[in-house]
Chains A and B, each alone.
Chain A
């Protein structure tokens, strides 16, 4: 009953969001587009990093791969095929990273992903300067921002659905166990490396697609623009604020932080990285399980107190 109700409510929300471009102007659509982009990025990040606690710092590496693939191929291939190619490149890079690090301790994975964006940025720059002889590409497509927005919204729905299905499946349990204690998981006979690799690949492909879909929004693309480390940083802080271990956590974190980021970059363009950095540290200190984890903890404690109190009152009355 409750499940049916929340499904209907969800469908209504997504329908309303899909219809929004007809009522909002160009600015409003662009704003929603950015928001849905970050909600998708944070949810895709949490798909792998939430339950396993393997902190991936490579979000912008995959995002940039997606965006750059579109910039290179959009004139020669139909747009759906470009997305497929981008997803495949993202998949290959994810498998390469995963195969070389996910069999080892988590810290190797973190280190590898930390420099990955810078590595790919330098390789792309080198390739463009030495082989094609130009740096920076123009990107003109024949559709407006609302088409980009609808594609992103669809990807966002798919991401949340994958998150929901994974959580309810054996894979979700396996991931949770890996996050709690990897040694125990291995002793139970879980193929931990394979589970981690599969989920990391899925998460990376989604992030690559976000970059690929959003690319036409820039019209001019350069390695420093699409490999901007702020994107990795924002994705991470959004997922952490809401609670990376929960399906709706990244959504809850992404909405207020996107609003804050828009406001900060408009009003304090020079200082926003300091403010966001401090906020990030504060979240790690105060809300280690995110807002949803915090609420859940206090809610159960409050209810436990209340029921204990009413029990006491009943006993006193009786």
Chain B
């Protein structure tokens, strides 16, 4: 494999990581929920896409129109019924963090259990748009390229929404200071619910994209959660463009490691990056140092 091939393959893989990490950064940055079941929501969407694309006259791309709103509704319900009571009960942010970690850890096992009952523990996959496309002299499968395009489009769209609209400004105000946001008439509970639901919708988009070119299992959620979390911390919590960049970086590093070193060591590479970030810049590569 030449260097360009590795770079492009890495960017394409990184596109998927960026897409899912942006959802997690919305959930943790704005809704302030550390969602350990995030990867299992991605896997659920992958299975949903698998079912939807088998329907007549629907392909995975048009399936996005079903799976993504489905993810939004699911995320909204999870927030309203499971997490909102904890937010109201928590005396401070630290208590909410512990409660949300524990609840979503329980949710992880519930979702995984349901998926295991429905689909079993086998690897699942289907083929879609597995045609070679040639760019910059190297060939990439079209389905992987779609992931990158989608990640960039959705990332920039959300960035524009958050920075250019009144509604997005309100969400960012909640991210900066939930107490003060209430003083200027922002409904923080509603903002948090919408941010959490949007995050789940992005997880659903990511899951659909992943299902187009990867095999997936019911128990594979942990690794996706882990990678998304590392990208979020690398990019700086709540920073969409940071997540986008960090996702692409992680994709390139992983592809380089699996090409030149060994495919079995990609998670070790991810953890090494995490360790370096923790020791060097725990506030994120693009975050401001807080004293």
A288 at the B interface (CB under 8 A): yes
- In the complex, whether B56 has a CB less than 8 A from a CB of chain A is no
Give the complex CA separation of A240 and B225 in angstroms: 23
Given contacts A104-B278, A118-B226, contact A270 B117 (CB under 8 A): yes
Total B residues in contact with A, Cβ cutoff 8 Å = 41
Instruction: Determine the residue in chain B with the shortest Cβ distance to A237.
Output: B106
Is the pair B109, A115 in contact by a Cβ cutoff of 8 Å?
Answer: no
Q: Interface stretch among B128-136, B146-154, B181-189, B263-271?
A: B263-271
Contacts of A119 in B (CB 8 A): 267-268, 271
Tell yes or no: A229 within 8 A of B by CB.
Answer: yes
The answer to the question of B282 belonging to the interface, with a C-beta cut-off of 8 Å to chain A, is: yes
Q: B110: which of A118, A126, A278 is its contact (CB, 8 Å)?
A: A278
Interface contact A240-B113, CB-CB below 8 Å: no
- Measured CB to CB, the closest approach of chain A to B243, in angstroms, equals 15
A118 touches B223 (CB 8 A): yes
* CB-defined contacts of B275 to chain A, threshold 8 Å: 100
B116 at the interface (CB under 8 A from A): yes
Check: B31 CB closer than 8 A to any chain A CB.
no
Please tell me which one of the listed residues A108, A114, A237, A280 contacts residue B282 in the complex, with CB atoms under 8 A apart.
A108
Q: Could you tell me the distance between the alpha carbons of A243 and B131 in the complex, rounded to whole angstroms?
A: 56
Chain A count of residues within 8 A CB distance of the other chain: 42
Residue A150, interface by CB 8 Å: no
Contact B82 A281 (CB under 8 A): yes
Given contacts A106-B94, A106-B97, A280-B102, contact A129 B109 (CB under 8 A): no
Which residues of A have CB within 8 Å of B36? 57, 114
Contact of B103 among A107, A108, A123, A284 (CB under 8 A): A284
CA distance A110 to B102 in the complex (A): 10
Task: Tell whether, in the assembled complex, residue B222 and residue A284 are in contact, meaning their CB atoms are under 8 Å apart.
Answer: no
Please determine whether A274 and B117 come into contact, CB atoms closer than 8 angstroms. Answer: yes
Query: Taking CB as reference atom, which chain A residue is nearest B99?
Result: A284
Chain B contacts of A115 at CB under 8 A?
222-223, 225-226, 229, 267, 271
Give every chain A residue within 8 A of B85 (Cβ-Cβ).
285
How far is A197 from B103 in the complex, measured between Cα atoms in Å?
A: 26
Other-chain contact of B105, A112, A118, A279, A280 (Cβ < 8 Å): A280
**A53 in the interface (beta carbon within 8 A):** yes
A237 to B282, CA, bound (A): 30
Cα–Cα distance between A288 and B91 once the two chains are bound (Å): 13
Q: Are A53 and B225 neighbours in the complex by a CB distance under 8 Å?
A: no
Interface flag for A195 (CB, 8 Å): no
- The answer, yes or no, to whether B216 is at the interface (CB within 8 Å) is no
Docked CA distance A79–B139 (Å): 56
Chain B interface SS verdict (over half): helix
Interface: A276 (CB within 8 A): yes
Q: Is B41 an interface residue (CB 8 A)?
A: no
User: Which single residue of chain A is at the shortest CB-CB distance from B232?
Assistant: A111
Which residues of B are found within 8 Å of A111, using beta-carbon distances? 226, 229-230, 233
Cβ of B285 within 8 Å of any chain A Cβ, yes or no, is no
The residue in chain B whose Cβ has the minimal distance to the Cβ of A100 is B278
Residue A122 CB within 8 A of the other chain? yes
CB distance from A190 to the nearest CB of B (A): 17
Cβ–Cβ < 8 Å partners of B176 in chain A: none
Contact with B along A152-188 (1 / 0, CB 8 A): 0000000000000000000000000000000000000
* CB atoms of B279 and A118 under 8 A apart: no
Q: Contact at B109–A277, with CB atoms within 8 Å?
A: yes
A-B CB contact pairs (8 Å), 19 listed: A57-B105, A100-B278, A108-B278, A115-B223, A115-B271, A118-B222, A118-B223, A118-B267, A123-B265, A270-B116, A271-B117, A273-B116, A274-B117, A277-B106, A277-B112, A277-B113, A281-B106, A281-B110, A284-B86
